[in-house]
Amino acid sequence: MRYFLVLVGLLISSYFFIDNKSFDKSGNADFERYSEKIPGSDVTIEMVPINGGTFLMGSPAGEKGRNNDEGPQREVKISSFWMGVYEVTWEQYSEFLDEKPEDLKISEVTLNNGSKVIVDGLSGATPMYIDMSFGMGRDGFPAINMTQYSAMMYAKWLFAKTGHFYRLPTEAEWEYACRSETETAYYFGNDSKELEKFAWFKDNSGEGYKKVGTKYPNGYGLYDMHGNVAEWTMDQYIENYFEKLKGTPADNPYFEPTSLYPRSVRGGSWMDEAVDLRSARRQGSIKDWKQRDPQMPKSIWWLTDAPFVGFRLVRPKENPSKEDMKKYWIEVLEDF
């Protein structure tokens, strides 16, 4: 019965996507699903609107596989945003990697309200010293093995190219989007036996990631929120995250990184057990993800031992202030 209800939900969701519109809380149909071509290429980014609201973040005490860093549950308020339908693929990421140094110049971006933002400090990634796909595939597969800084710089570059303010999701935004208005362990329910229909993980991945979008999506039309590759968020990983939240509900929480390790990763991957793909599961990055990096100092762009880590983009419905934009463009911390 649960699986039947999930399918009904997906059909309803697909109906609204055909109309290509989402209605904000005032009833305005100005918040739409869209595909955007990266200028100078034939590569597109597909984004789906997610209306803001409040939700119960974290897992209940009785959830199977629950870790201590997943609670106590707190009510959290999230503003509306678009999110990438898929994890960022090698085709999309390579447009940034292939950018010529002379094209990575200071850009003046005009926002929807007519104000202008100077995007400076943009730099390109250093060349890969090994095949960062590890031979698992590139055409339609998620980009992996980049640092959080590299993922954030991609979003900054895309902002300069398109004029739309892209960034990584916060931990709270990520969980809100993953849950898609559910309170169960997974967005489809509590039964991990159903997971194969929705995710690539240790039991079905054949020891490698898969092309994006090949399993069922969640209620918001997002693919691979459980599994395939784990996804960077913007936040510092804080073990007592929920105790640090302020307000009831906590309003759009974000913990800006102050040290390189650990940073927050969500969703679980093709290497993980089913229990580690739950909506509330949290993970922090570790130095071992660069264990085999031959460079001294270690690369600020690439990992060597995290073929399970990728990312997806968000775009706030309301552009942040120029000052707030800058807080999402974190400078390199000199402890690589």
> Which domains are delineated in the chain?
2-327 (3.90.1580.10)
- Asked if residue 167 lies in contact with residue 160, where contact means CB atoms within 8 angstroms, the answer is no
Q: Which residues of the chain have pLDDT under 70?
A: 1-29, 106, 331-336
- Which DSSP state fits 140? T
Residue 278 exposed, middle or buried by CB count within 10 Å (0-12, 13-18, 19+): buried
- Give the Cα separation of 248 and 308 in Å (integer): 35
Cα separation, 298 vs 98, in Å, equals: 22
What is residue 333's predicted lDDT score, i.e. its pLDDT? Answer: 56
Contact 318, 79 (CB under 8 A): yes
Q: Cβ contacts of residue 198 below 8 Å, gap of 6+?
A: 186, 187, 188, 215, 216, 218, 226, 227
Contact 314, 84 (CB under 8 A): yes
Q: What is the pLDDT of residue 119?
A: 85
